Amino acid sequence: MMKELLKKLTEVYGPSGNEEVIRDVIRQEIEGFVDEMRVDTLGNLIAIRRGRGKKVMLAAHMDQIGFMVTHIDEKGFLRFTRVGGISVGNSINRRVIFKNGVTGVISYEGEITDIRDIKFERMYIDIGASGQQQAESMVSIGDVAVYHSTFSENSGRYVGKAMDDRAGCALLIETAKRLQSSPHEIYFVFTVQEELGVRGAKTAAYALDPDIGIAVDVTLTGDTPKSRPMAVKLGGGPAIKVRDVSMLAHPRVRSLMVSRAQEAGIPYQMEILETGGTDAGAIHLTREGIPSGVLSIPCRYVHSDSEMVDASDMENGVKLMLHILEGEIEI
C-alpha cells in the first residue's frame, strides 16, 4: 500500500551525502521487480528492467535536507551549516535527529521580534548536553541532523518530513512493482545529493546515456491562504512540468505525458515552477542533450518538517507513469 510505503520511506534517515540507510530500504522494496541493481561510484541506486525499445531514465532523489555540525561551544550547544535549502523560518524550535539517534531542538540567540530579521549564524542546536565534553561524546563535527517528525494521514492527505523526495521514490517503487510489461529498457534511478545541486543525476545520466529522461519530484502549490499564485493544487492530479529554474521541459516529452494522461482519463495539472529545479535539470544537459521532462507531485510546505501530499495525486502519478512506459515512445 502506498500509505505504508510512504510512511516507511519518510521516516528513514538520509540527508545529502548520507543516503546509505534509505538506499538499502529502497533496494529491499524494489528487489524482485527489476532484472538487476547496482550502486554507482557516487552512491546512486540504479535498478534496471531490460527491454529492446527506448532507454528510459526515471529519476527520484533519495536525499533530504539537513543540518551539519560545524562547531560545539563550551556550553555544549551546536552551530551548524545548511545541507540543502534550509529555511530559517521553518526551523526555529523544530526537533531534529542525528543518525545515531541523538535528538535536539533548533533555537535562536535572543528574542525573535520579526521572523524576517532572523540571522542564520545566530541559530544553534540544543541536544541537552551539560557542556562541551558531553556534547562531543554525543555528536561530532560533520554529523548531520534532519527534521524529527512523525508521519500522519488525514482525509487522504499525508503529512511528514522528507516528502521531498521520498514521495517520488515511492512513486517509482510502486511503478516498478505494478509494471507488467514494457517494450523499453527502463532505468529506475534513485539519486543522491539532489539537494546540493543535482549531483547524482548528473553522473548517472552520463553513464546510462538514455534516450529520454523523466524526473519525479515534488512541486509547490498555490492553494493555501495568500500563497503565491500557481496553477497547481493538492488533489488536482500529478503535475506535468512546463518549466522551472533549471530547465524547459522538452516539448515532445511534455506532449507524450499529456497525451497519455488524456488517453487514460487521468487528471493532471500543468506546472510552471518559478523557484527551484529537479534532477531533470542535469539530465537534459548530459552529453549531446537528453529529451527530458518532469512528473511532479503537488506538495504543500516544502522543505519543512510537515510536508503534505495527496493520496490521489500519488496514485494517479503511478497510473500515468505506467501508461507512459507500457506504450511506444517516439521522441
Name beta bridge partners: 293: 214
- Which grid coordinates belong to 244? 522551472
Is the peptide bond preceding residue 35 cis, with omega within 30 degrees of 0? no
Q: What angle do CA 174, 251, 170 make, to 5 degrees?
A: 15
Q: Are 142 and 68 in contact (CB under 8 A)?
A: yes
Q: Which of 173, 176, 170 is nearest to 307 (CA)?
A: 170
11 in active site: no
Q: What is the DSSP string of 13-63?
A: --BTT--HHHHHHHHHHHTTSSSEEEE-TT--EEEEE--SS-EEEEEEE--
Phi, psi angle pair for 271, to nearest 5°: -120, 130
**Dist CA 60 CA 172 (whole Å):** 7
Q: What is the CA radius of gyration of the chain?
A: 20
What whole-number distance in Å separates Cα of residue 146 and Cα of residue 96? 5
Lookup: cell for 110: 535572543
Exposure string for 106-126, b = 16+ CB within 10 A, e = fewer: bbbeeeeeeeeebeeeebbbe
**Contact predicate 54/184, CB 8 Å:** yes
What strands lie across the sheet with 157-160, from one edge to the other?
152-154, 157-160, 307-310
Torsion of CA 92, 145, 153, 88, to 10 degrees: 30
Catalytic residue of the set 174, 185, 194, 307: 194
- Report the DSSP beta bridge partners of residue 157: 154, 310
Active-site residues, by number, are 194
